[in-house]
Structure 1
């Protein structure tokens, strides 16, 4: 997946299409077995983990409300 720098990106697809897996790979919850995941041609394992998780957001189908 590629996205122009000046735009925010959204990953939208039907249920069961690996969206959660892709986001988890981007946020380094686990590393790919084969291939690589890159942002701006830099592998995500070279980014600071805190920075990645601060800059990649997730909006779930199920709303979560805090009091």
Structure 2
């Protein structure tokens, strides 16, 4: 698995988790989904992704988007 795929997997998981927590616990959890979406847009425009840096430190091999 490359960093690119790991970031997409993590973002998708966080969105689904926040939707479930928002439905079952508190609507404030929907803010997490909004944060993930804003972070994805920011990463696509700037090329900087905090999750990609964490995955790189964990030893996940680089893909083409986050070198």
Q: TM-score range by the shorter chain?
A: under 0.3
Greater per-residue helix proportion: 2
1 or 2 for the larger relative contact order (CA 8 Å, sep ≥6)? 2
- TM-score (normalised: structure 1): 0.27
